[in-house]
Structure 1
Amino acid sequence: MLEAVVYFDSLTEGIRDTDTRGVSLRERNVFLNARVHYINGVGYYEQGDVVNACAEYLKVLEMMEAGFEEKDLVKQKAQFMSYTYNRLGGLFSSQFMMEPAILCYKEAQVFCMIEQTSPYGISNNYYRIGIQYNKMGQQDTAMYYYERAIDCLADSNNLVYRNIATNKSLLYYQISKDAELAIQNLKSITKQSANESERLSRYLTIGDIYYEAGNYDSAKFYLEQVFEKKVDEISKIQAAECLRNVYDSIGEFGRADVYVHYLADHKKSEGENKALTSRLEGMFKTYMDQKQQKKAEEIREKSIMKTVKVIVPIAIILALAVFVVAKLRSKKLLKKQQEEADRILGETEQEHEKELRLWQAEADKTLEETKKKYEEELRQMKAETEQRLEEVERKHQQWMAEARERHEEELMTQKDRSEKEIEKTKKRHVKELESERLAYEKEQDALRRNIKEKEAQVIALEKTMNLQQKAAKQRRMAFLNEPICQHILDKARSKQITTRDVAHEPGIALKDKDFEQLGEAVEKHYEGFDHELLSQCPSLKQGLLSLCHLHLLGLNESEIAALKNLSYSAIKKQNESLQEKLGVNEDMASYILRVAEGLCGTQGGTQTNESIDDDLDAWIERQIKDNPKITTEELAEKSHKGVRTIKRHISMMGHIHYVGSGYSGHWEVVE
């Protein structure tokens, strides 16, 4: 901001002697110098120096009013005057000096009517005047200005309209105390917010209404967001004051102290506010006095000019009359007429002097009455302001004293109660610790016994798994050594199929007899393989079963396509169809081998799988009772059955139900 001031100073120093646009050098210098003071005022205000900012803005008005006649304050000059009065109005409004703020906003509106500062300038001025009247408690006048502001808007899709609608809703609540309808309107306006800052401003108004209505939970929700996220200090102070009272009312004094400390650090003391308000009132009064005096002088000058304009024509007329008479009559008659003209002129001058004295007396009287009236208004305003400040200070001191006494009483009560309870708590803790120690020792003994039992089960299970793996390996080697298996593998590997296109591989396709012999070999070494697949999907056709038999040989999809004399894509689709029918998510070849290995474990004769095959329903029920959160996939893996087989069995067991959904649910067995 200071760099901008230096820049404008350089403009005023480097002005040329002529202006190509025809504007006089004096007027140009006045305008540029006024802009320098305006920017100085903006800089001081942003730094928190309200007094110097006010002085700079008043200096701008003095320079413009002294440098230009009222009729010349048009176009850019009118806009500039409107900006300056708006700045002054905002400054007085922030210090709760409503009457000076209203005067400034009305002056800003006069110049905005001459030349608009923006499409929303006139509406904004009416809206700001309404806010000041609302602060003063003149709600009907405030509503009148809000309505005028809305009438001046061309559309409702803009920030100015939303601001006016927000304050109208607040005013409606203040008049009717209907918080529900006011908040409903405010929430509708909040949804149209263009950015986070506007949304938080709406939250401040909603939170304030909830606070006034006694709905402290809702007030906390909105006001805490404003306090934590809002940037401007005025909004944060307003939110902090409400939150301090809310938490104090609900008994959360620790949270209330947070906002008390914030207000102590950021809010000016009552003495400082009084001193600042007094200085600003003095500065504005001096400016208004000078302005009134200047207007009185202008009235006096106009009166004199009016008198001169009347006397001069009369004197000219009389002189012409004397001249004509002198030509027509004798010297005696001319002398007589001259004496008569002198007498008439003397009487006329006396009358006009008398009228001039009357006009001067009337102007002085008007000026004196205006001055007395304004001084009386300022005295009343100052007295009311001091009375309000004293009342606020008294309430604050009373609240602080009550809070201090309440905190001291609570601390003494808690101290007496704590000393008695500490001794009781110590004895209770000794007994509880002894009981927990004995329970912990018993639990440790039980865990040790359980660990030993589990270790024995793990060793037995490892032995069983080793036997199953060995048996499965031997059975697979025997299956692959079957003549038909060797024949098929030799056919597939002799051609060295490396492409998905088998159209150029004649003579490699298997015959129906080959598929029959392969099925017999599968049944010989993996008894029940086809039955297991059909139990999962009874509609499984022979073509898909033969595809499963070829998977048992470890052939890839290209080799299977060549052996079945089909395209690679056809085999791909058959595999996908198999996965869908069997309810399998993993690779089809891996699943087929896992089914075959499971059959090997069953034929190996382990007690667990024999019991599963003997009564699958009873086995499923036992597993669910042991672990109610077990999944159907885990049951299928343990039983070496398909997922669809497990689901089908459970669906036929009417006394088992799954409660809940997903991983958070569990099985329940109804006895």
Structure 2
Amino acid sequence: MSTEMNRICFYIITFFIMFSGSVLNGQSSLEITTEISDDKSDLEKLQIFLNLAEETKYVDLENAISYARQAVQLANTTQSEEGRAKATEALGDLFQMNNNFQPAINYYLISAKLYNSLGNTKKLAEVYGKLGRLSYIDNYNLESAMQYYEKALSLGIELNDQDLIANTYNRIGGIFFRQKNYEEAHYYYKEALSIWERSGSEKGMAIALNNIGEIYRMQEKYDSALNYYEQSQSLNEKINYKILMATTLENIGLIKSEKGKKEEAFVYFAKAYKIIEEINNKEKKVELLLTMAGQHNRYDNFDEALKYYKTAYAIATSSSHWPHIAEAAQGLANIYEKTGNYKDSYSYFKISSSYGDSIDQRQKNNRITELQSRFKSDLQEKELQIAKNEIVLFENERKLNTLKLNL
């Protein structure tokens, strides 16, 4: 099976919601400044900065991080615990998108502590879900990830929040999928699907259906996979869920290619790419570019493959996404070797190796073992281990602002 076929294309919900706000509609920085400064209270400004961070994160991640930092400062100034919780959670989201995982974990831990003190159980559970995903992505610690998911699930059950429970099942399925334990992954995806069907969540159903389709695709049961993809796509179109619409189109294209229908495959890839361009999601854009480059390489269309690999490499480098840089560099090395350009092939092979070795070493240093049961009988509660440098700076800033207010 080809490299791009082995890449995980399923979509796991991450609580990231696209907004179509002022920045995406071309509002100027002057207009934004006016909006923020025009007779707004600090709490109103805080929310505006959070909205700006959300609106710009797929377009300009560095600016989004800057907006979220300003929201934290305003939260400290106003002594708003809820504002601090929201702003630190937003920074966790943004640093995760930037593949800077340790700060992301630290901010999520701060946010979790704040939500816990506020008694906001639903938000606490959502942050636990994010910590679970990061525990696995950052250091491949399956046990730690599952412990966070157990906490999220326990809170979901306590709240009788069916969507939260389904989301957690879906995330757990994603971990088993990454481990190629398709039987367990299928179980959890089906559980999530059942809950979303009962609650009538069309978005949730679309996600679960696509993920089940991915299991069948990886097992080379292409007709079954297509059946689930088509069900997912029907819902995506109904609710205009564009990011998953693009993912499902990409997956269908891969199956068409495996069935020898090259022209149809690229029609689906083109449709997916058009959607990704519309929503301007850089990470998904790189994934799709890599898929298309790999497919062109498969059919010996080296000029097209080179074009797509170069574009993917440029975007991945600008966003410091290690796995994508390694994959794009490896693709370029292969193309240059096939076309007799051994100098450039060697250069990109070294780049790929340097990034790939970092990733492989992390995997080797953090061996994971298969779970012997779906869940541990008792939820193991641990104290949140918040990085001292982050929390000390955070508390010092709050004390400083408190002192200023008292003067």
Q: 2:65·2:94 contact (CA, 8 Å) conserved in 1?
A: yes
- Tell me: CA distance 1:52–1:225, structure 2 relative to 1, closer, same or farther (3 Å): farther
Say which is worse superposed, 83-92 or 198-207, in terms of deviation: 83-92
Higher alpha-carbon Rg: 1
The answer to whether residue 43 in structure 2 is matched with residue 40 in structure 1 is: no
Q: 2:88·2:110 contact (CA, 8 Å) conserved in 1?
A: yes
**Cα distance in 1 for residues equivalent to 2:200 and 2:146:** 25
Give CA deviations for 1:264-309 in whole Å, capped at 9, x if unaligned: 543144344334424xxxxxxxxxxxxxxxxxxxxxxxxxxxxxxx
Partner of 2:141: 138
1:239 to 233, 248, 263: 248
Partner of 2:328: 393
Partner of 2:174: 170
Give CA deviations for 1:297-349 in whole Å, capped at 9, x if unaligned: xxxxxxxxxxxxxxxxxxxxxxxxxxxxxxxxxxxxxxxxxxxxxxxxxxxxx
The answer to whether residue 101 in structure 2 is matched with residue 107 in structure 1 is: no
Give CA deviations for 1:525-563 in whole Å, capped at 9, x if unaligned: xxxxxxxxxxxxxxxxxxxxxxxxxxxxxxxxxxxxxxx
Partner of 1:351: none
Give CA deviations for 1:40-80 in whole Å, capped at 9, x if unaligned: 323434x7333322211122224444x36xxxx4xxx1111
The answer to whether residue 162 in structure 2 is matched with residue 158 in structure 1 is: yes
Aligned AA (2:173): S
**Residue pairs, 1:40-439, within 5 angstroms:** 40-45=52-57, 48-65=59-76, 67=77, 73=79, 77-116=80-119, 118-136=120-138, 137-153=140-156, 154-175=158-179, 176-178=181-183, 181-227=187-233, 229-230=235-236, 231-262=240-271, 264-265=273-274, 266=276, 267-268=285-286, 269-278=311-320, 385-386=321-322, 388-394=323-329, 396=331
- Tell me: CA distance 1:42–1:216, structure 2 relative to 1, closer, same or farther (3 Å): same
- Tell me: CA distance 1:86–1:401, structure 2 relative to 1, closer, same or farther (3 Å): same
1:48 match: secondary structure? coil
- Tell me: CA distance 1:207–1:98, structure 2 relative to 1, closer, same or farther (3 Å): farther
2:260 match: secondary structure? coil
Q: 1:4·1:39 contact (CA, 8 Å) conserved in 2?
A: no
Aligned AA (2:127): N
- Tell me: CA distance 1:275–1:60, structure 2 relative to 1, closer, same or farther (3 Å): farther
**Residue pairs, 1:405-554, within 5 angstroms:** none
Partner of 1:543: none
- Tell me: CA distance 1:250–1:49, structure 2 relative to 1, closer, same or farther (3 Å): same
Aligned AA (1:254): E
**Cα distance in 1 for residues equivalent to 2:32 and 2:263:** 47
Shift of 1:124: 0.8
**Cα distance in 1 for residues equivalent to 2:193 and 2:48:** 43
- TM-score of the superposed pair, with normalisation by structure 2: 0.56
Higher RCO, Cα 8 Å, sep 6+: 2
Shift of 1:255: 2.0
Give CA deviations for 1:76-115 in whole Å, capped at 9, x if unaligned: x111111112223333444554434322222211211221
Q: 1:223·1:239 contact (CA, 8 Å) conserved in 2?
A: yes
**Cα distance in 1 for residues equivalent to 2:214 and 2:317:** 29
Please report the RMSD computed on the Cα atoms of aligned residues, expressed in angstroms. Answer: 3.5
Partner of 1:621: none
Q: Percent identity?
A: 17
Partner of 1:460: none
Shift of 1:157: 4.3
- Tell me: CA distance 1:107–1:233, structure 2 relative to 1, closer, same or farther (3 Å): farther
Unmatched tracts of structure 2, length 5 or more: 1-20, 23-30, 277-284, 287-310, 340-407
Partner of 2:359: none
